[in-house]
Amino acid sequence: LAKTTQPISMDSYEGQEVNITCSHNNIATNDYITWYQQFPSQGPRFIIQGYKTKVTNEVASLFIPADRKSSTLSLPRVSLSDTAVYYCLVGLTNDYKLSFGAGTTVTVRA
Amino acid sequence: GAVVSQHPSRVICKSGTSVKIECRSLDFQATTMFWYRQFPKKSLMLMATSNEGSKATYEQGVEKDKFLINHASLTLSTLTVTSAHPEDSSFYICSAALGQVIPDTQYFGPGTRLTVL
C-alpha cells in the first residue's frame, strides 16, 4: 500500500479556500487517489477521487501533477461546517485495501 | 447513491457478553466489505476484509475468534465481538465496495459506538 503524508492540521477562516497537499511518492501505476472527510463520531464521507490532472465536483477539486507523487485537495470558500479531518488515500486497484494515515484536521473559524 | 448503514449506532454491554453489528449496503451490491475500528482522536485501523460467500481475511494482530465476521449476502456483513471486554470499547466502522470495478471506491457506514462496561 502506498504511504501518504499530509499536514497534521490546518486553520482557515470562513470564505477562504483551503488547499491540502498529500505526498504519495511510491504510488503505483494503477493506483487512484481518493479523499475522504470525517466528522467526529461519523464514518468517513467520500469527497473526490482522481487518477491524473484535475478533477472537480460540486464539493471540491483535486489537482494531480504529471508525476502523481502528490495531490492537492482544494476546498473553495469553506464554512464552519467544513471543520473535519480529511484523509488522503491511494489504492483501489491491485489491492482494494485502504490504509488510513493520520489525516489533516482542518479547523475553520468565523 | 452508495449508501451504507450500520446497526446499532451505539451499544453498551456488560463485560463477557457478545455484540453483533450489522453493515448493509442499501442501494448497491457489495462484493467486498471492510471492518475498521477507530479509537478517540486516532485514525481508522483496518481489521478485516470480508468477501461475500467466503471467509474473512484478518489483518495482523486482529483475533479472528474474537471478532467474528460473516458476509452472508451481497448487501449484509456482520461483525460479532465475542466475550467483549472494556478494551474492546471503540468506534467500529464498516465500508462496502462494488468489487470488480476500477477504481473500487469504498463507501463507509456511519459507525457503531461500542462501550463495554
pLDDT single digits (tens) A8-54: 999 999 999 999 999 999 888 888 999 999 999 999 999 999 999 99
B4/A36 touch (CB, cutoff 8 Å), yes or no: no
Of A42, A87, A102, the CB nearest to B111: A42
Q: Please calculate the CA angle A60-A27-A92 and round it to the nearest 5 degrees.
A: 65
pLDDT for position A95: 55
Task: Tell me if A108 sits within 8 A of A13, measured CB to CB.
Answer: yes
By DSSP bridging, strand A104-109 and strand A18-23 are unpaired
Give the side-chain half-sphere CA count within 13 A for B71: 24
* CB-closest option in A32, A49, A97 to B49: A97
Residue-wise pLDDT tens digits, A63-85: 999 999 999 999 999 999 999 99
Per-residue pLDDT reduced to its tens digit, B57-86: 999 999 999 999 998 898 999 999 999 999
C-alpha distances in Å from residue B77, one per residue of A100, B56, B81: 21, 10, 13
- Reading phi first (left if > 0) and then psi (alpha if -120 to 50, else beta), residue B99 is in left
pLDDT of residue A79: 97
Partner-chain contact A44 B99, CB within 8 Å: no
Return the biggest CA–CA distance within chain A: 43
The answer to whether residue A94 scores a pLDDT higher than 70 is no
**What pLDDT, on the 0 to 100 scale, is given for residue B31?**
85
pLDDT, residue A85, reads 97
Task: Say how many Å lie between the first and final Cα of chain B, rounded.
Answer: 37
Beta strand spans in B8-62 (E): 10-13, 19-25, 32-38, 44-51, 57-58
CB distance B105–A100 less than 8 Å?
Answer: no
Chain segment B3-56, per-residue pLDDT in tens: 999 999 999 999 999 999 999 999 888 888 999 999 998 999 999 998 888 889
Single-letter residue type at B10: R
Three-class SS state of B30: coil
Nearest-Cα residue of chain A relative to residue B4: A43
pLDDT band at A99 (very low <50, low <70, confident <90, very high): confident
Cβ–Cβ of B104/A92 closer than 8 Å?
yes
Asked if A39 has any chain B CB less than 8 Å from its own CB, the reply is no
Q: A30 — contact with chain B (CB < 8 Å)? A: yes
Cα end-to-end distance, chain A, whole Å: 38
Q: Do A49 and B103 touch (CB under 8 A)?
A: yes
Model confidence band, residue A101 (pLDDT cutoffs 50, 70, 90) = confident
B93-107 pLDDT, tens digit each: 999 987 767 777 889
pLDDT for position A2? 65
A96 — pLDDT class (breaks 50, 70, 90): low
The predicted structure's pLDDT at residue A12: 97
* Cell numbers that stand for B98 in this block: 462494488
